[in-house]
Amino acid sequence: MSSRRSLGAAKPITILSWNVNGLRAVAKKGFRSWLDGSGAEIVALQEVRARHEQLPDDLREPDNWHTHVVAGERPGYAGVGMYCARAPDRHEPALGIPRFDTEGRVQIARFGRLTIVNAYFPNGNGRERDNSRVPYKLDFYRAVFDLVQRRRKAGQRVLVMGDFNTAVREIDLARPKQNKKTSGFLIEERDELERWLAAGWVDSFREFEPGAGHYSWWSQRGTARARNIGWRIDYVLTSPNLRPYLRGAFIRPDVLGSDHAPIGVELDPAVFD
């Protein structure tokens, strides 16, 4: 996708985000080959579901990649990870709030003036699918919002990326009318994301693609993915001061192995300076 704004002629860098729905599972489906062929500078993962020492040998410390994995206390649940072609200047493996950090949902990495917040936002369904986790989910949204607002006000260029577990507008899911009482499209969840956008955070994908039919998650039941009956719940949000460096944004629905598709952005490399 061509750029609408550019600071120079340098080749853009690619930053990717992907909910892999279990890194050990997707490792058996060619993840390492995909990673090495991705052309990305940074790859952020959600729902890793493993501690660093539990990963396959070729994913613990792969050549040419700096690896950072944050696991929760509950085995095989949640977790985030990051593979970086360049070492971050600083890596923070927690939000600083125990009730969220026990689930391993956030990591923060700084590369020069660029800060990346990789987050796996909770699903509000609850074990009984009664939306019992919605209050926890909303509290998590607010905690991350407060964090990134502080970084933004400090002059950092901030990317907040990951599985937000909410489709913010009707255009962002195939069947909005049927899902108004489903976690992921509840009005209180959508309002929380709308608050981010109203505060100036930029939905990078919508900067380049205003149309419908673009999704990042599909139910594993039936033929939802084949029929493109999906939801766009994975985002890369940028702080306003990063917007001039944005060259492109995309979803890669052709990449299989998870119920989510990778998403990403292209940035002018001057974003680090």
| Of 83, 20, 79, 90, nearest in space to 54 by CA | 79
Token duo for residue 239: 């702080």
Catalytic residue among 36, 163, 191, 254: 163
Token duo for residue 152: 């933004």
CA–CA gap between residue 66 and residue 236 (Å, rounded): 21
CA–CA gap between residue 244 and residue 265 (Å, rounded): 13
The answer to whether residue 101 is catalytic is no
| Of 220, 121, 134, 213, nearest in space to 176 by CA | 213
∠ CA(126), CA(82), CA(152), 5° rounding?
A: 85
Report the catalytic residues.
163
